[in-house]
């Protein structure tokens, strides 16, 4: 089932002589439950693409269909509701609130849609049952990222958007985080979209979208994605 479709999406920044395309006529589809990597060098337009998809910013032209509805037609209030109901974000630097415990960081989301699972159950599912009452500064980098993943899935979103989720971690901890994301995708049928410049991570994906200078250079489907184990 198709979840996301980009149709001739462009995003321009700047004015006059300085005007340029961060994204130019981008077209692709993503199916429900896919594990997707958007790969490209710095400045390729990866974060711009993720921000448009997550309703954090709007395109200059084109359509972004999510379950058949063009979110580019949304006003600010509709976009806010779209983000709250449908999108979980995972960032490179976790973005946890330092004065709240792990459990409080996960519970704080006051989104409209209620998750079927409690925050405690979600933290257990990412193996943080012992650390629930610790503050971010008392957690390792990998643990902080697992809290941020737990926070992102608390509202049972349609899609999980991850911007360099392993970028601040050593490689072993990074692999652990990728396993958590992969399990969410395969066991809970979540659509997971990871932005990275790391070509090894791309080998684990079902679908890889290669971005360069704001355009899709190529797109591949991995018949046999590299197993993360
Ligand atoms: P990536 O995530 O692949 O590194 P980005 O999407 O962050 O690339 O950026 C793509 C291009 O758009 C870069 O040249 C960047 O400098 C530019 N850019 C990104 N955001 C803005 C902005 N808010 N204003 C102006 N230029 C921007
Ligand atoms: P890393 O290998 O990422 O540097 P740390 O050395 O920061 O990891 O943390 C190792 C373990 O110690 C983690 O499980 C973390 O939960 C725990 N820990 C770190 N700092 C504290 C603290 N101040 N209080 C309680 N537990 C802590």
Per-residue pLDDT tens over the stretch 46-71: 999 999 999 999 999 999 999 999 99
Mean pLDDT of all residues in 23-30:
97
Alpha-carbon dihedral 112, 36, 57, 29, rounded to 10 degrees: -100
CA of 140 to the centre of ligand 2 (A): 5
Interacting residues of 110 by C-beta distance below 8 A, sequence separation 6+ = none
pLDDT band of residue 114 (cuts 50, 70, 90) is: low
What are 131's two structure tokens? 């650390």
Test site for ligand 2: of 139, 141, 177, most ligand atoms within 8 A of the Cβ: 139
**pLDDT at residue number 223:** 83
pLDDT band of residue 216 (cuts 50, 70, 90) is: very high
Count other C-beta atoms under 10 Å from residue 97's C-beta: 12
156: left (phi over 0), alpha (psi -120 to 50) or beta: left
User: What residue's CA is closest to ligand 1, atom 26?
Assistant: 13
DSSP-based three-state secondary structure for 206: coil
Task: List, chain by chain if needed, residues with CB within 6 Å of any ligand 2 atom.
Answer: 131, 134, 138-141, 143
Q: DSSP alpha helices (H): ranges in the chain?
A: 46-53, 76-86, 102-107, 119-125, 141-153, 171-188, 199-202
What are 6's two structure tokens? 């980009």
Per-residue pLDDT tens digits for 116-175: 678 999 999 999 999 999 999 999 999 999 999 999 998 889 999 999 999 988 988 999
Test site for ligand 2: of 102, 133, 140, 171, most ligand atoms within 8 A of the Cβ: 140
Query: pTM score, two decimals?
Result: 0.87
* Averaged confidence pLDDT in the chain: 92
pLDDT band of residue 73 (cuts 50, 70, 90) is: very high
Q: Which ligand is nearest to the CA of 145?
A: 2
Highest mean pLDDT among 22-36, 83-97, 178-192: 22-36
Q: Which ligand is nearest to the CA of 143?
A: 2
Q: What is the DSSP letter of 160?
A: E
Sheet holding 69-70, edge to edge: 20-31, 2-13, 61-66, 69-70
Rounded percentage of the chain residues whose pLDDT exceeds 70: 97
CA of 94 to the centre of ligand 1 (A): 20
pLDDT value at 113 more than 60? no
> Is any ligand 1 atom within 6 A of the Cβ of residue 20?
no
Sheet holding 207-212, edge to edge: 87-90, 159-163, 191-196, 35-39, 207-212, 215-221
Q: Identify whether the C-beta of residue 65 lies closer than 8 Å to the C-beta of residue 5.
A: yes
Closest ligand 2 atom number to CA of residue 134: 25
ipTM over 0.85: no
Q: Which residue has the higher pLDDT, 66 or 226?
A: 66
In angstroms, the CA 229 to CA 214 distance is 33
pLDDT value at 26 more than 90? yes
């Amino acid at each position: 089932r198709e979840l996301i479709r980009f149709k001739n999406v462009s995003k321009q920044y700047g004015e006059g002589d300085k005007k340029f395309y961060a994204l130019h006529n981008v077209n692709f589809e993503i199916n429900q439950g896919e594990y997707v990597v958007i790969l490209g060098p710095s400045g390729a337009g990866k974060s711009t693409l993720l921000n448009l998809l997550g309703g954090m910013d709007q395109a200059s032209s084109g359509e972004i269909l999510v379950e058949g509805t063009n979110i580019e037609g949304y006003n600010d209030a509709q976009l806010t509701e779209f983000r709250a109901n449908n999108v979980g974000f995972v960032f490179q630097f976790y973005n946890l609130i330092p004065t709240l415990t792990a459990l409080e960081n996960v519970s704080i989301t006051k989104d409209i849609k209620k998750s079927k699972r409690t925050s405690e159950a979600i933290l257990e599912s990412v193996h943080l049952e012992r650390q629930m009452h610790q503050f971010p500064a008392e957690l390792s980098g990998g643990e902080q990222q697992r809290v941020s993943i737990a926070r992102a899935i608390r509202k049972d979103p349609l899609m999980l958007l991850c911007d360099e989720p392993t970028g601040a971690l050593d490689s072993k901890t990074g692999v652990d985080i990728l396993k958590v994301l992969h399990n969410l995708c395969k066991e809970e049928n979540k659509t997971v979209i990871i932005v990275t410049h790391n070509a090894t991570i791309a080998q684990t994906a079902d679908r890889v979208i290669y971005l360069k200078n704001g355009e899709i250079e190529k797109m591949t489907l991995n018949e046999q994605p590299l197993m993360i184990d």
